[in-house]
Structure 1
Amino acid sequence: MKYRINPQNQDELSVLGFGCMRFSRDEKEVEKQIIYAIEQGVNYFDTAYIYPNSEVVLGRVLSKGYRERVKIATKMPPYSIKKYEDFDRIFFTELKRLQTDYIDYYLIHMLPDTTVWNRLIRLGIHDWIKEKKKKGQIRNIGFSYHGGRDEFIQLVDAYPWEFCLLQYNYLDENRQAGVEGIKYAAGKGLPVMVMEPLRGGKLVTNLPKEVESVWNNAHVKRSPAEWAFKWLWNQPEVTVVLSGMNSMEMIKENIRVASETEINAFTDADFNLFKQVKEILDKKIKVPCTGCNYCMPCPMGVDIPTCFSCYNDMEIEGKLASRGKYIMQTSIKNKPHNASLCVKCKKCESHCPQNIKISEEMTKVTKAMEGVTYKPLRFLIKKVMRLDK
């Protein structure tokens, strides 16, 4: 197993992290998988308060003599925090589930923007974190994020975080927080943990035949998953890559790949393969947006690149998943950034290097993403996540 150093505290973290959201229902098999991974050098396990039974199962296994060999990362859902006492209620529930008295890497889960973070500040989270760190109950504090680059950077700057977790893969190089966000966080000394390295399996299964042909005829024989992981581990800014491993075969394969990976090892031929694959996938998208952000800011608040990213993902991830992501990334905010806010002023179009007719495309995005269920679903999610406060 290869390790990368956390510059904040010199922790040696395995480049492969065990994502615990999708544990098998067979707890005996899960125990075998976790212990095998630990014995092979995996030392970073990521779970969350809202992952069904995940903290309990992980805690039960680690209590059998493995706790001190690993770093536990778990998360607090901000939408469950209504008053100061809720911080402790959730945190101590997690400690009990995990059968531990401290958390190595604690995250505020799915922070959508600084508005939610500011609400937690008003409830006293600064004092709460300070107390927990003084007692040694939280070793490192961070946040997880799904969304655009600018809001990610604002969150990075909003607090002296000690690490972050975000979605990143070769298809999202210029989407969501993207490579610029990754480099920004790493440049401030934050370890960067990566989720969705395979886009929920979309970069492995049901690939277009043209993409399969590129991988099959590559100068080095590797599976699509291996290429995707190596693309991430080639980058020095990436500290840990999480994988939701739920079979021994998958665990063994990922550990093998992680043990063979190096930083800055890609050749021009390697990069050319990804260029070919992305060109093929980009041809299947609806809008040729590269996420350069030259169109921003929109005077009406529309997050143009994120709207296009979710719209384009319909071809890869399907309508349901893309609409859910669209609501999460543009609409469940005190100041929404969804496509229907566009008033067709066309200010953005003069700055677009791709010459996209943005105002016309926003009409299409609105029609595809904001159907009859959009407003009630957005209202319900905001209520549940306490984003209306």
Structure 2
Amino acid sequence: MNYRENSKNGDKLSILGYGCLRFTKKGNNIDQEKAEKEMLYALQNGVNYFDTAYTYGGSEVALGKFLAKGYRKDVFIATKLPHYLCKSYEDFDRFFSEELERLQTDYIDYYLMHMITDLTSFNRLKELGIEKWIQDKKENGQIKNIGFSYHGGKEGFIQVIDVYDWDFCQIQYNYLDEHAQAGVEGLKYASLKGLPVIIMEPLRGGKLVFGLPEQAVNYFKKEDKSKTPAEWGLRWLWNQPEVTVVLSGMNTLEQVNENVRIASETQAGELTAKQYEMFEQVIKEIKKVEKVGCTGCGYCMPCPQGVDIPVCFRCYNTKYMDGAYKALKEYILCTTLKINPSNASKCIQCGKCEKNCPQGISIRKELKNVKKNLETPMYKIAKTIMKLRMKY
């Protein structure tokens, strides 16, 4: 296993992290016996970073049961505060205490504010007293490192990075999302600030493995028949020294074995110019099914009405690449449920954005398409359900 050092404290983190969201279920519950076999194999082969969250149904409990068998000191636990459920200062302790109990531990190595979407969402936490709460928890040793996981645009990510003295951060990043959300610009900015960067959705939940166009798969095969699309996707990430840990939601021994092998072989800077050209061809094939050719550059921003144009287009494209369910979920989370909503229906067709778009996109027209395709009757129902869930 290869490791990359957290320059802030010297922790040597395995470049492959165990994402605990996708444990195999037996009925409605996690198959504990199977999950423990897979986690043990990963641990014995050098994986030392395990990522879970309060809202990953049963995941914290499953990880806690496993680590209680004598493995706690061998790993770094990362879990997350569901800040969107917190309405008061007291809620911070209520959720944190429950997580400690679930995980059967008295401290968390890497603790994250879960799903920060922009600066406004963090400012709300500041008003509730989150900075004092974090300080107290770090001083008494219950939290070793504080960070946040991010779902939003590049500008918002940089603002969140700058507003607080974070220890690390977590972003969605892969070869298809190089310029989406925080993107490569955000990755490099965080790294320059000295922050370890944890990567989630490295293979788009499997879409960069099982959902690729045939021609895209052929480009990978032409370069090296022995490497799968999954391996190429992981190698693209680990080729970048700014990437610290890549999370993988492994739920078979075969997946664990394969990912451990790749993480033990790959090194930063190993991809050739020819192989980068291969990725460009693969991306072109994938983008042929996209509806809007938005690169996420952000030149169209800021919108006078507060529409997050790149995020709206990303979610619209997601519908045709990853399916309607994921698109709707991302759209509601990343635009509608923000304290200051940024969804497409706020557009008043002023046209200011189109003057600055390098791709010449008919932004006003496409925002109408976003509204038509994503703000459907199902959108209204899902929005109401998600609001209620966050309230209670």
TM-score range with shorter-chain normalisation? over 0.9
Matched, 1:187 2:192: yes
Match of 1:200, SS state, is: helix
CA distance in 1, matches of 2:91, 2:150: 21
Q: Is the contact between residue 79 and residue 384 of structure 1 (CA under 8 Å) also seen in structure 2? A: no
TM-score of the superposition, structure 2-length normalised?
0.96
Cross-structure match for 2:278: 273
Contact 2:118 2:160 in 1 (8 A): yes
Q: Which residue of 1 aligns with 2:51?
A: 46
SS at match of 2:4: strand
Instruction: Report the 3-state secondary structure (helix = DSSP H, G, I; strand = E; otherwise coil) of the residue aligned with 1:21.
Output: helix
Contact kept? 1:333, 1:382, Cα under 8 Å: no
Q: Which residue of 2 aligns with 1:3?
A: 3
SS in structure 2 at match of 1:100:
coil
Q: Which residue of 2 aligns with 1:327?
A: 332
Alpha-carbon distance in 1 for matches of 2:378, 2:224? 48
Given the alignment of the two structures, is residue 141 of structure 1 paired with residue 152 of structure 2, yes or no? Answer: no
- Corresponding letter in the other structure for 1:91: F
1:123 to 118, 128, 143: 128
- Name the CA distance, whole Å, in 2 between partners of 1:112 and 1:353: 25
Q: Where in structure 1 do 4 or more consecutive aligned residues deviate above 6 Å?
A: none
CA distance in 1: counterparts of 2:222 and 2:356, whole angstroms = 39
Does the 8 A contact of 1:330 with 1:337 survive in 2? Answer: yes
Question: Residue 310 of structure 2 aligns with which residue?
Answer: 305
Give the Cα–Cα distance (whole angstroms) in 2 for the partners of residues 203 and 99 of structure 1. 35
- Alignment CA distance shift 1:72-1:28 (3 Å): same
Across the aligned residues of Structure 1 and Structure 2, the Cα RMSD in angstroms comes to 1.4
Corresponding letter in the other structure for 1:5: E
| Residue from 252, 258, 263 that aligns with 2:257 | 252
Deviations 1:319-343 (A, max 9, x none): 1211111111111112111111111
For 2:91, give the aligned amino acid: D
**Matched residues in 1 for 2:293 and 2:90: separation?**
48
Shift of 1:280: 0.8
Q: Report the secondary structure of 1:210's partner residue.
A: helix
Q: Which residue of 1 aligns with 2:110?
A: 105
Q: CA deviation at 1:386?
A: 5.1
When normalised by structure 1's length, the TM-score is: 0.96
Asked whether the 8 Å contact 2:212–2:286 carries over to 1, the reply is no
- State the shift of 1:382 in Å: 3.6
Which runs of 5 or more structure 2 residues have no equivalent in the other structure? 25-29
Matches within 5 A, 1:360-379: 360-379=365-384
Structure 1: gaps spanning 5 or more residues: none
Tell me which moved more, 342-351 or 259-268. Answer: 342-351
Alpha-carbon distance, 1:308 to partner: 0.9
TM-aligned CA deviation for residue 230 of structure 1: 0.4
- Residue aligning to 2:65: 60
Instruction: Note the 1:215-230 alignment, pairs <5 A.
Output: 215-219=220-224, 221-230=226-235
Q: Which residue of 2 aligns with 1:153?
A: 158
Q: Distance in 2 between matches of 1:162 and 1:314?
A: 34
- Secondary structure, in 3 states, of the residue corresponding to 1:173? coil
1:104-126 superposed Cα distances (whole Å, 9 cap, x missing partner)? 00011111222222222222211
Amino acid in the other structure paired with 1:109: H
Number of residue pairs matched?
A: 387
Which amino acid letter does the alignment assign opposite residue 197 of structure 2?
V
Counterpart contact for 1:16–1:255, Cα < 8 Å: yes
How big is each residue's C-alpha offset from its partner over 1:253-276, in whole Å with a ceiling of 9 and x where there is no partner?
Answer: 000000011001110111011000
